[in-house]
A and B are shown apart, each in its own frame.
Chain A
Amino acid sequence: MEIEFTLNGVRKRVQVEPNELLLNVLREKLYMTGTKYGCGIGECGACTVLLDGEPVLSCLVLAADVDGREVTTIEGLARGEELDEVQKAFVEEGAVQCGFCTPGFIITAKSLLMENPNPSEEEVREYIKGNLCRCTGYMNIVKAILRAAGVIPQTP
């Protein structure tokens, strides 16, 4: 079947199988490899993308379901070389190590800040609990999100 949707602001038309997952279509058919496979069962959050502005796990969404809708992946956040505030904070607060979970975290953080522009530390921790990171112990990630929200200042 053919679906048509907006991916990072660009109209895309693509042939998919009815049982094909959004994650695989993004990665294998559209070469948007920033969205990562980590578990395939909705446990790790590495494949998080925005669907009509809401965070979804693209490993649990059928590609057919995004027909006519709008998808934002990690590749859609920066404007050219200019990073989004959350991306910038992740770079500057040392929130990136191996980087494999990073796209999922940044998309989740974007969603949080759209819902709640001034989150508390508890709210940040709670919101990102579905995203797993094995490198950072989350500390600098929490710091980066609070910093992107302007809740705390940049670490010198």
Chain B
Amino acid sequence: MALEVLERRPEGRVGREALTIVGRKTLRKDAVAKVTGRELYASDITLPNMLYARVLKSPYPHARVKSIDVSKAVEMGAVVITSQDVPQVLFNPRLVSIPEATYKDWRVLTDRPLFVGEPIAAVAAETEELAQRALEAIKVEYERLPAVFDAIESMKPEAPKLHETIILKDREVKVERNVACRLEIAEGDVEKGFKEADVVIEREFRTNRRYHNQLETKAVVVNLEPGGGVTIWCTTQTIHNTRLLIHEIFGIPMNKINVKKISLGGSFGSSIHTNIIVPIAVALALKAGRPVKLVYTREEDMHDHVSFQMIFRLKLGAKRDGRLVAGQLQAIVDIGAHQIQAYPILGVIAGWWVSLYKLPHVKYEGIAVYTNKVPSCAFRGYGNPQTTWAVETLIDELAEKLGIDPLEFRLMNYVGEGDIFWGQGPTVKTVIRSCGVEELLRRGAELIGWHRRPKPGQQKGRFRRGIGMGRGFHTSSAGSPVPGSVIDYSGAMIKINEDGTIDYITALMDHGGGSLEAIAKIIAEELGVPLENVNIITADTQTTVYDVCTHASRGVYAGGATALKVARQVKQKLLEMAAKILDTYPHALRIRPDPKRGQGVIYVEGIEGKEITIGEVAMTARHKNWGTIAAVDSHRTEAGPPHFTAYFVEVEVDTETGIVKPIRVVAGADIGTVINPDLARGQIHGGFAMGMGMALLEDTPYDPDTGDLVNRGFLVDYKTASAPDMPRLKDFTVFFAETYEPTGPFGAKGLGEGAFNPAAAAIANAIYNAIGVRFYELPITPEKILQALRGGGENV
């Protein structure tokens, strides 16, 4: 698919003939270690003289610790820490935004827990079992306080208060009615806009509260270094922000904190911030004077992170001819007990919303509300899948009311090339320079048989099939021409070894999607070397320059652009040295990979004999003492371009059981130049599986009596898609649009989140097409379907 895309690229852009590595299927470098069990993850690290840690967590959703007696645990030989043993500072575990957008309300250990699972104390002992026994020997006297589990209830004057004051930058902020923060945006005159509209629809939507269920639970190992330093292996999407936070909390100089890059067993946003176990393990190691390992159980992990849950009040107005004229959105976001990125998400919800369809008049109000639940953090798409589900549901409804084909309605109104895109909310804007939306929609419609889909609600019989679509996008990085409230830059070092192989050293994390594989290809392409020669180095904070975080689908786009910039600097040095040796000029030289020699070969076009391998240049540079051919630099992209996606899904609804099965999927993606075709398809497969979970399966409701999760954190009661739930191989089609992003490395954009964002919306619209009922609350469970069908097909 990718090769076909490149072949037909418009002239003046990089054509297939010019690309030898980018766009071709290659084997990922870490695959052999991963299929043989040799790949190491944080929980695989064992150090000599290491202690095992366990965390004591609040069994109550809201309480005050009146007393805590750790004497028995200490007698058993355990090292114990409570809130008295940790620095008394408020912090925010996510450091991706600037201080003016980072509200602080967390402590390492608390004596006033605000959710079931909030850490109260921690122990370290010789074995995990002893640590657990010591934990059970700690006596805590709690004073139970009233708790609240619903965002609307939480804003009422009689609701229990979670936080009195929190910190923004260096100033105290008083919390009123449990509102963590709010954001209002208006453009145009929304009242006037709705007056001009011929059709207006307003709905309330409620999303689910989804648990990431990354396969690896949160884990950390801390080693103590002589002189008060710490070395940390942990589940993280950002080693540098982890180091910054440990510095902020403990005051350890940054050059004495080393955070090691290690493989991540999935994350999906759940380690966009420093997981709370990291400072806990550091505090334990410092007190014990020994290395400490702390790995959460699955049940603990489910009490550690969750998606944002939203209540949207969405109103859209359109003219009879199909032009949207006005939109109003109120987003009430249930953030749980603490802020990780509450303020930023209010901005991005607005951004995702206004970047889907052109709305001349808009009004937005975002309110983030505290509840006594697990704190919410980013979850693949960062509010975009939720927003897109609501918008794409309402767009479908509006089109139907207007009597316009929903596909054409979307094409009439979408935000595309030349329009302004709010990549990460109102402070991160860029002009869209590449857009394949029309191609995605037209080709997708053709492949699924859009125009042959049934009429909603016309079917009889037990099994009813329907086709639905959802379109969307995600930003590729939070880059933009001016600094916004989100920090976004990457770093890379590239050096040429004396044998012509290349070391690529970066702090950028690869969560498994293959970002670093793609970047290795970008480097190989630019330097003209075989891909095998580019080595992705396992690095740490001591040996790398800053990289903000792998999030916002920025790995390939922003990380790749940074590596490309550095590769060009290296190439310049390399060609200067080669020109000296070959008695020519740097700009007269070309490089081509020579797989036979296993080298990049530098040559003068048309003159025989004027050639030398990169290894020979590097070795000559050594013997002549010219130095290492290397460069290191940081880079901020001047844009954060959207990558676009569209899902067309056919579902089968069993009206006896209420079970919905997606049986056919056509997914199109505009990601600019496709660098890793098989891994890109894999992102889409995985995005769809997650979208199915969001639409049909996943939620973490609370039991108001216990204040705990209804499932108590047990995975047996948190269902995600398994293999038989997916469509068959031949029924899942993935295609890529023919686009080229001028600001991206070799024309590439991101994909990770766009691959997921519109999937749930497409499934929901397909269900409507099958049974004629719309659902405004996720997930659409079999119970809800049966109830709706029994209720005579009323929308619910």
Interface residues of A (CB under 8 A from B): 17, 27-28, 31-41, 43-44, 46, 73-75, 77-78, 83, 87, 90-94, 96-103, 106, 121, 124-126, 128-143, 155-156
Q: Quick one: given A97-B513, A132-B722, are A33 and B37 in contact (CB under 8 Å)?
A: yes
Q: Is the CB of A132 within 8 A of B36?
A: no
Is residue B426 within 8 Å, beta carbon to beta carbon, of the partner chain? no
Contact A44 B215 (CB under 8 A): yes
A115 to B699, CA, bound (A): 37
Q: In the complex, are the beta carbons of A133 and B35 less than 8 A apart?
A: no
Chain B residues with Cβ below 8 Å from A141 are 723
B295 lies within 8 A of chain A by Cβ = yes
> A135 touches which one: B30, B33, B686 (CB < 8 A)?
B686
Question: Is A83 a contact partner of B39 (Cβ separation < 8 A)?
Answer: no
Q: Which residues of A contact B720 (CB under 8 A)?
A: 132, 134
Pick the interface stretch among B224-232, B559-567, B634-642, B676-684.
B676-684
Q: Which of the segments B113-121, B142-150, B260-268, B440-448 contacts the partner chain?
A: B260-268
Shortest 5 CB-CB contacts between residues of A and residues of B? A34-B37, A98-B512, A100-B265, A99-B34, A137-B685
For window 263-287 of B, CB contacts with A under 8 Å fall at: 263-266, 268
- Kindly provide the distance from the CB of B311 to the nearest chain A CB, expressed in whole angstroms: 26
Alpha-carbon separation in the docked complex, A90 to B41 (Å): 19
Query: Is B716's CB under 8 angstroms from A41's CB?
Result: yes
Q: Which residues of A contact B266 (CB under 8 A)?
A: 97-98, 100, 134-135
Interface presence of B4 (CB below 8 A): no
Does B743 sit at the interface, judged by CB under 8 A?
no
18 extra interchain contacts, Cβ-Cβ under 8 A, other than A33-B43, A37-B295, A97-B679?
Answer: A35-B37, A39-B715, A83-B35, A91-B32, A94-B682, A96-B34, A97-B512, A98-B215, A98-B264, A100-B266, A103-B37, A106-B35, A121-B728, A134-B214, A134-B686, A137-B687, A140-B682, A155-B678
Whether the pair B729, A142 counts as a contact (CB closer than 8 A) is yes
Distance, CA A136 to CA B714, complexed state (A): 23
Minimum CB–CB distance for B156 against chain A, Å: 37
Residues of A within 8 A of B690 (CB): 134, 137
Contacts of A87 in B (CB 8 A): 35-36
**Which single residue of chain B is at the shortest CB-CB distance from A93?**
B678
User: Contact at B679–A94, with CB atoms within 8 Å?
Assistant: yes
Query: In the bound complex, what is the Cα–Cα distance between A69 and B61 (angstroms)?
Result: 47
Q: Is the CB of B36 within 8 A of A100?
A: no
Given contacts A83-B32, A90-B31, A97-B686, contact A137 B37 (CB under 8 A): no
Q: State whether the Cβ of B538 lies closer than 8 Å to any Cβ in chain A.
A: no
A sample of 10 inter-chain contacts (CB < 8 A) reads A34-B36, A37-B43, A40-B298, A91-B32, A126-B723, A129-B722, A134-B268, A137-B690, A140-B681, A141-B723
Q: Is the CB of B689 within 8 A of A156?
A: no
Interface string of B575-605 (1 = CB under 8 A from A): 0000000000000000000000000000000
Task: Please judge, given known A-B contacts A137-B688, A139-B732, whether A101 and B215 are in contact too, CB under 8 Å.
Answer: yes
CB contact between A92 and one of B27, B44, B679, B722 (< 8 Å): that residue: B27
Which of B212, B512, B684, B716 meets A43, CB within 8 Å? B716
